[in-house]
Amino acid sequence: MDILSKIRVLQGERNWTDYKLALEADLPQATLATMFQRGTPPKVDTLQCICNAFGLTLAQFFLEDESVEVLSESEREMLAAFRKLSPKQQQSLIAVFKE
């Protein structure tokens, strides 16, 4: 996988400039400029910041299957709360959603 190309694709999908990506990822713009100019993939911590900006996990970033659905922050919160429930509580909640 060409990591830099994937970052460019994700930027293009959002119409983000390098400046916007730097802002969203809370990275110095020089970090991104150097990375793209030299053609070197980012370090893991930098890639994590970039993924966070795009609303992706590292695992989602590296998946080849493009059909992965990205969860919103509220959906992530709901899933985290759901996972803390007992199996019986989970089934009850599923039943409510099916009604």
Q: How many CA atoms lie within 13 A of 28 on its CB side?
A: 4
Please give the chain's pLDDT, 99 residues, in tens. Answer: 799 999 999 999 999 999 999 999 999 999 999 999 999 999 999 999 999 999 888 888 988 765 556 677 888 888 888 888 888 999 999 999 887
Q: Are 58 and 74 part of one and the same domain?
A: no
What CATH number has the domain bearing residue 22?
1.10.260.40
- The CA angle 21-23-44, to the nearest 5 degrees, is 60
Query: For residues 53 and 57, what is the distance between their CA atoms, to the nearest angstrom?
Result: 10
Q: Are 28 and 48 part of one and the same domain?
A: yes
Domain limits for position 99: 69-99
